[in-house]
Structure 1
């Protein structure tokens, strides 16, 4: 689509279903209990509870039966506790993908060109962006990577990531044609939205003033201090010409969608790690809330006779002094002449709640594609070996490999665009277009136990099935050494073990 027509619905109706899902996932990701309550009490919040709940079928009835969709009866103060499992799940995904960052390479670059590529895609700033991207796309289902620049801020182009809940993409045959990113500024009842539409060769900027659900009318960029500087760099058509025949944004999905595969453009959107997990998140919160309620009710309570209470005056009730030692003329219940105190002590069902919570944890990890040990071996009985731990981590590694396919494509594509754009904006510093393909390499495993590597090498050496050179190369994997440095280390090991051939010019027999 082009920029929206004045007073049209926002977000566009074609993306309404996606944005409703984004809002639900964001509420879980943020752990915002007010937003969760609002999401699950929508559609008939003023109707009677019995109609809104069990006696109502379909989506409305289902969400109202959620723990967060059930209103608290009047006069009750129930404990509602949120456990940040969704946020932990998004962090887990990002950690698996980017705790050891990928390396972006183009063969045949000069030292100056390589330094520029490293600044754009292999620097600490780029790795921080990738980590943020990993969390956002796990929670929302996809992100957009954009090439950004501001000559008043930095002397190079950089990569930036945006969640898809501020993006309207345009696809054809599941390929990105254009994308409109937007930022919202709320001033009372006035909603200002800055739209930034990326298409081949240009970026168009527009500012609209509207309402919560209408885009409203287009106004000058100077009307907001946040967009005033953009008015100075766009042309008469409010555009910035990039000079490229490629998009300055790339769509990076988390995993292929399941729910929207028959819904037009939505079929190209990504799938969140939270898909089909909302009932489990809700059940986990209900379990922990029940546990905390047991703790409160488990606090011992003492029933005292009426005579042991001290009156506080008209309308103020009575109180009981727990430090008082003597009581006179008590109107005590029970046996005549005997003071009677009683206590109430409810059970705190620790084991039942703990087992239920850990079972839900395991189901969350299983459905999201991660290993049971990703959050710790909850409920595991007895010690387990390192080999068993490695076997149980295979699920996470398989999920990581599948997600890396989408990351490689998006990061590689936009890193190439950013490098070309950098050559146009900052000539002579090493940027520019390169015809050779760009590659993005992730480490083979996110983390490998050093003890396991040592055992593997020991067994191969004992079986006489590995050379000294192969052993050294295996040990040095992931240390980013150059080939001469690796060869020097191999030579040192061979000399120490007496394996190196003597120099014939100095050999004396």
Structure 2
């Protein structure tokens, strides 16, 4: 898609459909209950001809589904209901990012005898703490919205090197050919009153075009100079007469990074390559979890003890001001209670708080969310698991998260490798002599297991050691994956030194006599 023509719909079809789904996922990710109410009430009000009879929406289809959603039901007039959101969607996105990037991948060049300044440049661009923090952000964004893009960015006034940035699927419009990315339009929105300013940058092979539009929420509006906004004013100094920055390389400065293969959109043209969110098909479960916790909190409110008292014991606040009952009052004098004057009836109302029922329901929903998203039941704790399991069963159960992590890492490896290669090449052109340049696609290595359990690791190393299948050096490396070669060598030397000391005779034992048959004079007394 080239940059949009003035006064056309935004976002353009078919991305308008995709962006509605992105907005729904973002509302769950952020826990924006106001947005959830708007989304599901708007869906409830939508009518389709095949679901309308006598002007009224029939049950079923999109209308019926929205009506059934907890966040889509309007609160009756005059009632105040507590609605609580549990951040399970945000936790799910964080879990995905943690499994992939809590122990960050290492990016290495494949060439031999690489110069030290090139290694330093690579570490600055792909292996620094800043990049690792960005990877964590990318992991969350693509888990929540289905995809992200990695972009090579530079500004010679800000830094003396290029760097990588991540953007979510809801601010990009990719263009695919046979499943391969050939161009990508990214956009940033600025709102001022009822005016929507949008900065679009279109990445093509060898160039990046920038444009600024002034429009409305659903219309791109007119194209205006970049100097109209302070946020884009600096770009006017670096673009050419066609509003383009020539990159000087024959590759894209963006890499598309899907979360998982799409399911629902596989027959929808370009949308088939967009990727699948971890939230796909889980919205009803998120909604049910919120309804469960809201019901639990309602039980707590109703479970607070209440006392029903006769009108005669209420104390008046004056004409038209109502009455009240002082529950701390110790004596009541001169009561004119109805019925038997010697008796005053005070009724107590105490509703049951169904703790076990709500907790079991919530835990069952938690387990189903994790299972459907491809994660182990133990990822958030063993909810309601009363059955004793063997160590083998526990290990097999925990494999689900590792399998999902490995599948997602395949996409991350490709996107990171391609864009790091582009970043190094651009860095060599923009900052010559500092180590950048064109190299083969680098290797991206993820740790075998993210945050491996120390007890499990100890058992594994012990079994390998007993079988004679692992060296001391490899044991140290497995136990300390973040150590460099020097630290490993020092630790191995210490271990071998201690093993040597342990092999010597125990100093508490008497000296070993090589000739036990000889006396002090050298004679054998038994001879």
Could you state the TM-score of these two structures normalised by the residue count of structure 1?
0.93
Q: Show the counterpart of 1:506.
A: none
Q: Show the counterpart of 1:504.
A: none
Is 1:185 aligned with 2:187? Answer: no
Secondary structure in structure 1 of the residue aligned to 2:14: helix
Is 1:234 aligned with 2:239? Answer: yes
Q: Show the counterpart of 1:60.
A: 63
Q: For each residue in 1:7-27, what CA deviation from the matched residue of structure 2 results, as whole angstroms up to 9, or x when unmatched?
A: 110001111111010000000
Q: Show the counterpart of 1:72.
A: 75
Is 1:11 aligned with 2:11? Answer: yes
Change (3 A) 1:13 1:437: closer
Q: Show the counterpart of 1:441.
A: 445
Q: CA deviation at 1:46?
A: 9.4
Quick one: distance in 1 between partners of 2:231 and 2:346? 69
- Aligned partner of 2:360 among 342, 355, 371: 355
Q: For each residue in 1:218-260, what CA deviation from the matched residue of structure 2 results, as whole angstroms up to 9, or x when unmatched?
A: 0011111111111111110001000010000000000000000
Secondary structure in structure 2 of the residue aligned to 1:147: strand
Q: CA deviation at 1:456?
A: 2.3
- Aligned partner of 1:401 among 398, 402, 406: 406
Q: Show the counterpart of 2:179.
A: 174
Superposition RMSD in Å: 2.3
Secondary structure in structure 2 of the residue aligned to 1:176: strand
Report which of the two structures shows the higher radius of gyration computed on alpha carbons.
2
Secondary structure in structure 1 of the residue aligned to 2:335: coil
Query: How many aligned positions are there?
Result: 496
Quick one: distance in 1 between partners of 2:43 and 2:364? 32
Q: For each residue in 1:14-51, what CA deviation from the matched residue of structure 2 results, as whole angstroms up to 9, or x when unmatched?
A: 1111101000000000000100000100145499xx99
Is 1:243 aligned with 2:238? Answer: no
Q: CA deviation at 1:312?
A: 1.1
Q: For each residue in 1:75-103, what CA deviation from the matched residue of structure 2 results, as whole angstroms up to 9, or x when unmatched?
A: 11111110000000000100001000000
Q: Which runs of 5+ in 1 are unaligned?
A: 501-509
Quick one: distance in 2 between partners of 1:350 and 1:335? 40
Q: For each residue in 1:187-232, what CA deviation from the matched residue of structure 2 results, as whole angstroms up to 9, or x when unmatched?
A: 1111110000000001000000111100011001111111111111
Q: Show the counterpart of 1:95.
A: 98
Q: CA deviation at 1:491?
A: 4.9
Secondary structure in structure 2 of the residue aligned to 1:18: helix
Quick one: distance in 2 between partners of 1:245 and 1:239? 15
Is 1:330 aligned with 2:338? Answer: no
Q: Show the counterpart of 1:497.
A: 499
Correspondences of 1:267-306 after superposition (within 5 Å): 267-306=272-311
Q: Show the counterpart of 1:341.
A: 346
- Aligned partner of 1:457 among 454, 461, 464: 461
- Aligned partner of 1:221 among 221, 226, 232: 226
Secondary structure in structure 2 of the residue aligned to 1:207: strand
Q: For each residue in 1:407-446, what CA deviation from the matched residue of structure 2 results, as whole angstroms up to 9, or x when unmatched?
A: 0000110011011111111111111111x33110000000
